Amino acid sequence: MKHRITVAHGDGIGPEIMEATLKILEAANAPLEYDTIEIGEKVYLKGHTSGIEPAAWDSLRTNKVYLKAPITTPQGGGYKSLNVTTRKTLGLFSNVRPVRAYAPYVRTHHPDMNLVIVRENEEDCYAGIEHQQTPEVVQTLKLISKPGTEKIVRYAFEYAKANGRKKVTCMTKDNIMKHSDGLFHKIFDEIAAEYPEIENDHKIIDIGSALLADSPEKFDVVVTLNLYGDIISDIVAQIAGSVGMMGSSNIGEQCAMFEAIHGSAPDIAGKNIANPSGLLNGAIMMLNHLGLGTVASNIENAWLKTLEDGIHTGEIYKEGLSKEKVGTQEFAQAVIDRLGQKPSTFPVANYPDGEPLKLNTLTKRAERPEKKYVGVDVFVDFDGDANTIGDGLRAVKHDVLKLKLITNRGVKVYPDGMPETFCTDHWRCRFTNPDGKEIGHADIISLLEVLNSAGWDFIKTEQLCLFNGERGYSLAQGE
C-alpha cells in the first residue's frame, strides 16, 4: 500500500534539498505517492497573501501528512508567516527537534550531545496580534493557554517515556512573566508529578540557554514555549555541527508536518551547496510516523555511513576530517549509493514497522472558575508628564472607580514617581473600587464615558479579575 502525502518545494534552497530528499526516498523504495502544492513567495506574488492557494488546504487536510521545504518570510513587514499559519490551522501543537552530535566525523565542541527540544508550536508571541497603540509604543500579545500548555508538556513526557529518555527540563522566564510563563511552569510541575520514573527540573531560560550552549550533553528532553524553543533549537543544532543537519516534526491530533529546522537560506540558494540532511531527517521522522520503520532505518543508516565516509557538504567540510566536499545532489547520490549499508561507529538505526505509537495528549478542560471584576487598567495616549496625567485623572469624578496608580512601561510613575524615570506617551492607569467590592461592566463603561467627556485618549482597557478569589493580573511595582 502506498501512502499519499503532500509535498511543497518551498523557496530559496527549498527546491534543491527537496529534489535531493525525494530522490533518496525513491531510491529506497519508500511506498509514497505525492500531491505537490505551491507555497511561499511565488504564491504571495500571485496575490494570495497567505502564501498558499485555497485548494492546497484540501490536499493537506485529506493526506494529513506533509513534507515541507523551507519558505521565505518577509522580515519586519509584508505577509504573515505561512509556517506559523500552517502549524496553527492544522493544530500542529508540538514541534519536536532531535539534535545530536555526529562526532568524530562532523566537527563539534560537544561530541556527546544528544537531546530533543520539544517546542510549543501554536501560542506565545506567535499569535501575531500586534498593534501600534500610541505614536511611540507598539504591542505584541503573548498568549499562553492552559490546554495548550497541558498538551505540549504531556507530549514531552510521553515522548520521553516512549523513546527511553530519562529527564525532561522545562525552560521559562517566570521570574518576570509570572502569569504567562508562570502558568507554563506550574502546569509542568503538575504533569511531571504524574511521571515519577522520569526526572524533571526547571531552568530560567537565560541561564538554561547558556547551559545548553556550554554543556548540552547534560540535557535530555527540553520542553519550552514557542519563542524560546525557536531560538534554542537553532543554537543547539548549530553547536552540534550545523543548522543544516537537523529535522523537525510538527505533530497534531490529526495532521503532521515534517521539515528541516533551518530556513530557506537565500544566501546559498541555487548554488547546489546546501546540505539536504535537515529535510532528509525530517523525512525519516515522517517515515516513522507512517509506520515505515524499515525504510526509515535503511535511509538513516545509509546517511550515517555517508557521514562516516567523510562525504560532506561545504558547511561541515573540514580539512583533515572530511574526505570529499560535495554539492547537494552529489551528497544525495552518495546516500543512495550506500542504501543497504550500515554505519560502523554510529548506532545502527532499527526502527519498528507498523502503526507508530500514538502519544496520549488529551487534556481535560477544567471547570470554569468563578470570575469577579475588581477594577480596570485604562491605557491612555498622552503627550505630557506623569504628574499632569495623574492629577488630571484624579480629578475625574466616578461613583465607584478611582485612580489608584499610573505606570509607564510597567514602572510606577504616579503617585510618588521619581523624576529620573523615562516616560513614553503610553500610560497604564489603574482604577479600582477603594472599598474593594466587585464591579461590573456598567461601571467600566461609565468610567470610559467620563474619561471620553473629559477628553482623555484611551486606547485600550484590561479588566482586573479574580478567578476563584485568586488575582488574575500582575501587581504594579510597589503596589
Residue-wise DSSP of 82-115: HHHHHHHHTT--EEEEEEE--TTTS--S-TT-EE
Q: How far is the CB of 13 from ligand NAD (least distance, A)?
A: 6
Residue nearest to ligand NAD as judged by C-beta position: 263
- Binding of ligand NAD by 259 (CB under 6 A): yes
Do the beta carbons of residue 123 and residue 145 sit within 8 Å? yes
- Binding of ligand NAD by 16 (CB under 6 A): no
Among 63, 83, 226, 301, binds ligand NAD (CB under 6 A): 83
- Binding of ligand NAD by 72 (CB under 6 A): yes
DSSP state of 143: B
In this structure, the strands spanning 32-37 and 3-8 are parallel
Among 142, 262, 412, 430, binds ligand NAD (CB under 6 A): 262
Q: How distant, in Å, are the alpha carbons of 96, 302, 305, 336, 457 from that of 343?
A: 25, 7, 5, 14, 68
From the centroid of its chain, how far is CA 418? 39
Residue number with CB closer to ligand NAD (169 or 275): 275
In this structure, the strands spanning 199-204 and 167-172 are parallel
- Binding of ligand NAD by 21 (CB under 6 A): no
- Binding of ligand NAD by 267 (CB under 6 A): yes
Stretch touching ligand NAD by CB under 6 A, among 49-57, 70-78, 101-109, 114-122:
70-78
Residue-wise DSSP of 297-331: HHHHHHHHHHHHTTEEETTT--TTT-SEEE-HHHH
- Binding of ligand NAD by 71 (CB under 6 A): yes
DSSP state of 50: T
- Binding of ligand NAD by 244 (CB under 6 A): yes
Q: How distant, in Å, are the alpha carbons of 9, 31, 37, 64, 237 from that of 3?
A: 19, 6, 16, 10, 30
- Binding of ligand NAD by 229 (CB under 6 A): no
- Binding of ligand NAD by 470 (CB under 6 A): no
Among 98, 148, 247, 263, binds ligand NAD (CB under 6 A): 263
Among 264, 322, 407, 432, binds ligand NAD (CB under 6 A): 264
- Binding of ligand NAD by 275 (CB under 6 A): yes
- Binding of ligand NAD by 247 (CB under 6 A): no
Q: How far is the CB of 252 from ligand NAD (least distance, A)?
A: 16
Among 208, 241, 278, 417, binds ligand NAD (CB under 6 A): 278
Stretch touching ligand NAD by CB under 6 A, among 69-77, 175-183, 432-440, 446-454:
69-77
Element (H, E) at 407: strand 402-408
474 by DSSP, 3-state: which? coil
Helix axes 14-27, 293-308, angle to 10 degrees: 110
Q: How far is the CB of 139 from ligand NAD (least distance, A)?
A: 22
Q: How far is the CB of 76 from ligand NAD (least distance, A)?
A: 11
Residue number with CB closer to ligand NAD (116 or 265): 265
Q: How far is the CB of 277 from ligand NAD (least distance, A)?
A: 7
On the 0-12 / 13-18 / 19+ scale of CB atoms within 10 A, 251 is: buried
Do the beta carbons of residue 366 and residue 374 sit within 8 Å? no
Q: Can you tell me the distance from the alpha carbon of 428 to that of 375, in angstroms, rounded to the nearest whole number?
A: 13
CB atoms within 10 A of CB 137: 17
Residue-wise DSSP of 213-279: HH-GGG-SEEEE-HHHHHHHHHHHHHHHT-GGG-EEEEE-SS-EEEEESS---GGGTTTT-S-THHH
Residue number with CB closer to ligand NAD (83 or 288): 83
In this structure, the strands spanning 458-467 and 411-414 are unpaired
Interaction pattern, residues 292-331, with ligand NAD; x per rule: CB under 6 A: -----------------------x----------------
3-state secondary structure labels for all residues of 329-353: HHHHHHHHHCCCCCCCCCCCCCCCC
- Binding of ligand NAD by 282 (CB under 6 A): no
- Binding of ligand NAD by 332 (CB under 6 A): no
Interaction pattern, residues 190-209, with ligand NAD; x per rule: CB under 6 A: --------------------
Amino acid at the residue 234: D
Among 6, 59, 63, 73, binds ligand NAD (CB under 6 A): 73
Do the beta carbons of residue 206 and residue 173 sit within 8 Å? yes
Total binding residues toward ligand NAD, as defined by CB under 6 A: 20
My answer on whether omega of the bond before 276 falls inside 30° of 0, hence cis, is no
Residue number with CB closer to ligand NAD (21 or 361): 21
Residue number with CB closer to ligand NAD (28 or 71): 71
Stretch touching ligand NAD by CB under 6 A, among 67-75, 108-116, 159-167, 299-307:
67-75
Residue number with CB closer to ligand NAD (268 or 406): 268
Residue number with CB closer to ligand NAD (53 or 315): 315
Q: Can you tell me the distance from the alpha carbon of 21 to that of 14, in angstroms, rounded to the nearest whole number?
A: 10
Residue number with CB closer to ligand NAD (69 or 198): 69
Q: Which residues bind ligand NAD (CB under 6 A)?
A: 13, 70-73, 83, 243-244, 259, 262-268, 274-275, 278, 315
